Structure 1
Amino acid sequence: MSGYARRLTTEQEDHLSVWRALAEKVAPYTAALLYAARYVNAPGLGTLGAVDPRLRVFLDVDAMSEKWSDQENAQVLVHLMFHVMFDHHSVAEQKLQAEGDLSPDLWRMAADAAVNDDLEDAGITFPSTVSTTAEQIGMDRGLSAPEYYDELSRRAHDADMDLFHLDEMASGLIGGALTLGTDLQDRASLDFLTSTWEDLDLIAPPAEDFEVVAAVYSVAEEISKGKGAGAGRLGRWAEEVTAPSVIPWQIVIGGYLRKASRRKPRGLIKTFSRPSRRQTVRVRMPDGSKGRKIILPGTVRPVPTLVVIRDTSGSVSDHELSEVGREVAEIAAQCGVPEDRVFVLDVDDAVYRARTLSEKGTLRSATGGGGTDMRLGLAAIPEVFDRTPDLVVVATDGGTSWPETPSAFPVVALITSDGLDTTPVWIPSVPVDGVPA
């Protein structure tokens, strides 16, 4: 294990919980990203915090708790989430590919200046440790990160400054090297990341593309609902992100199911329910004779389990439920989940019998038609199934109550037709487009 990256201790987790709660209070629309992020303790990072393209947040937790207030540390988290929201990592990659060169030093300055503009427009105080603002670099406010970068690059060229450039590095490292943060000390941070890159996957598994996209989409939705972001560039950004067909819900569900499949043990697992037919062992007795044959366990390949909870209250049409069910069944088939491992659980103000897709007519019929309470369906999962599902998909119009605390299994909500999305921050939600009510 590297001498730099660390998992957070229990005490550090407590500090993080406070900072995250304060960050959510300051910028409530960022909650989906704050809770989707993977947090890594990085002593000696040289800055308060940084974030990479895979939603891993690096924090020098002890330095932060000792030298800065909880409020300032919360501001750091919000600042980092803005880098993710505006996709500054991908924009930098595009700029590098287009121009063949990029200075991480200047790009972080440009990205920080752009973020601080947006924070100020949203009425949020940015961290006191951040020194890069449009005013401090002598430029007009309101520019994008590429625009700030181009001007800074021009000035550096005119002044013949000695800058570090990405073309001096080995190819393929931009994903790990270009990490954005609060005045990151570039060379030290690059050395930190490249020397710990292999260990990071063990400490903090990288977020999949669909997870980052879904979390950013949730942020944009919250901003569009007027959750304290105000107008300006942030509002325009939210309108662009939430435009129709930005996230095909089928792709998102497929991504979550594929991730659930990968959580299973790799290869085969041993079990005595299926004795091995190829391996035999005999115990040699003290007198040298052969003893009894010992039965060795056989192997089985684990199969993921998918549960679809359908809101069968009167506000959701049978046709809509059937269409969503067919789509989910097709996604499951593409991901290699057999029909007898896909369960449909109808719920209104009661929980009905779970049926598999292999049962005749499961998708063509729905049970219920009363009120709506998806809390009952989620609470019934441990009682109905003898094995924890790998993914639970809740198809609802959103007019329901939800559990306040996260479930022990992953949950994704599909919000049908023009339903109201009331899901808590711990449940990713996806609007269903293209399915007539």
Structure 2
Amino acid sequence: MTRLDTTKLLAARYRAASDRPYLASALYALTVVPSERVPTMGVDRQWRCYVSPGFVETTPVDQLAAVWIHEVSHLLRDHHGRAERLPAADQRDARRLNIAQDCEINDDLIADRLPLPEGRMEPRLFGLDPGGMFEAYLPRIPPSHEISLDCGSGAHGVPSPWEIADGPPRLGPVEAEALRRTTAEAMRAHQRARGSLPGGWQRWAEEVLEPTVDWRQVLTGAVREAAAWAGGAVDYTYRRPSRRTPALRGVVLPSLRRPLPRVAVVVDTSGSMGEAELDAALGEITGVLGEVGVRGNRVTVLACDADVHAVTKVTSVEDVTLAGGGGTDMRVGIEAALARPDRPGIVVVLTDGMTPWPEEPTSCRLIAALIGDLGQEPPSWVETVRVGDVNAP
């Protein structure tokens, strides 16, 4: 049995932390666990780093330092958490998933001139462009039984045979998230002081410190809240008598009902709007409405540039007619929606924002879904959702 050369291993970690001080806190948060069963080095979800004594013995210090950085990168980038959000079919092949994750990490480390050991996985081996995320790489990486790769559950999320349930100190999810933020702040400070930071780490730090909000979730929340608000009004109906009616002989009491709101979607069809973007964003809106039970003759779509060109009751995006192509004035569409006999309780305006807005609050809930970031901000009383890349997964 090979004895772990702790001095060499810790010297490699010290070198990694000295050369890249912004990673020091994360590197020293790892708890070392010697293991004959792990092929090289690997990490679990609790920030324990399993180390093969034989691998340490045969690997130069500079390469060991690079492997330290590689393994902690899995945890900093929350690879196991992101893996859990993949479809079940993609989670089953842990080896293929690990290859995609290594491609995401290693192309950044190679660009940073780190001397990784031979046999490393990188995008070019699969005909892929560098700088991508593992979720984008995964569909283009074929299943492989020839590549022996296992960085542990801290990477692909599946517990490896060499991981232990108890034992050394562990780092919990809350502490791990705090450490990610501390590391991102250290990266930003390093970049300001020295002006250099690998592109992959720079993007990661920006995402941690200024996370990109999923506009679909924001839009879903806004529409759901508006639907609940508009449907909050109750009315009496005799179609279903009150349950108290049998107690009162000869008297029929009405029951209370909570009606579903009517929704109008005003779509900007001016020349500055792309049809593909409109279709995608409109699909998101109608999908949300369907989920909350608002569909069919309760949803009306108005195609509008500086005038209303088409009004359609829709059950799906395919029913919509997008006509227009001229100037832009969404006030016309909003006014037309509110003037309809079946007056809506919610109006969603889908536009790039290059339009004037009503000067005063409307009598209904108004949501502006702005595509892109060129348009002006609507008035403060308009609920606004900035729509990003509608074609992004």
User: Normalising to structure 2: TM-score of the pair?
Assistant: 0.47
User: Normalising to structure 1: TM-score of the pair?
Assistant: 0.42
Which of the two has higher C-alpha Rg? 2
